[in-house]
Amino acid sequence: MGTTTCLQEALQHTHDELCERLVSARHTIDRREISRRGCPPIDLFLSGTSKHLHAVDQVVLPCARHVNGEGSQLVHDHLGAAKQLEVLLAHVKAHEFGSVYETSFDWATVWSDVEEAFVGQWEQESRIGVRLSEALPDDELQRLCDRLAAAEERAPSRPHPFLPHTGAGGSLARRFMRAADAFWDAVEGRYVPQPRRKEHKRPGLIGQYLMADPRFEEEEPARESVERPGTDRQNAEGDRPVPR
């Protein structure tokens, strides 16, 4: 039994961040001229929520399935709530880009349905976080948090409610859809946050020698004093009044 709440805190932090994005997206002005183009607040909410849901499917659900007594029920309840949210996120994406199938719905109705499904999915996710925190030791919980953060960076940026979510089929679907989503995000001009890349350590002297790439320290340019003509003479004679 674990004593740390790192997993619950990580899930809560992500949920709070997505809540802020949802509020920002919901208050975006509905303008016809932005149809069929990416809208940053909406895109950030959609991509962040989709990446998190895919990461939970990949990392958290396999562990939750082994919780004694209720593992299968936990996974079943979460998959149902997550699928409902993903369907609505797909409607938001279509509504954002002006799909003709979304003309019968207004933004207020769409966002209300999304918020309701968002709350329902969080209830199931937080429930899983509590049960795993009670069942797993501290070191496994910390590794789970690290794996979840890494999976979010590599996850697809769009919802795929009708593809496999768990097992080998889910892993294969996420691998293919990640590449497909990146392609269509670039084509449609969607705003998707990119993960921060780690800075590579500068090679040492031996590494520079092996790569035949010596890197010398930048030297400050020598300051050369350039004397203007007549400067010494003017200093010697001093300032003289100009004859009239």
The full set of domain ranges for the chain reads 6-188
**Would you give the end-to-end CA distance of the chain in angstroms?**
100
**What mean pLDDT do residues 51-77 have?**
94
CA distance 141 to 133: 7
For 118-169, what is each residue's pLDDT tens digit?
A: 999 999 999 999 999 999 999 999 999 999 999 999 999 999 999 999 999 9
> What DSSP designation does 219 have?
P
Q: Is the pTM of this model over 0.85?
A: no
For 19-29, what is each residue's pLDDT tens digit?
A: 999 999 988 76
Q: Is the dihedral of CA 64, 69, 72, 78 positive or negative?
A: negative
CA distance 75 to 60: 9
Q: What's the distance, CA 84 to chain centroid?
A: 21
DSSP assignment of 156-202, as one string?
-SS--TTS--SHHHHHHHHHHHHHHHHHHHHHHT---PPPPPPPPPP
CA distance 119 to 58: 21
For 86-120, what is each residue's pLDDT tens digit?
A: 999 999 988 888 777 777 778 888 999 999 999 99
Predicted local distance difference test score (pLDDT) of residue 106: 84
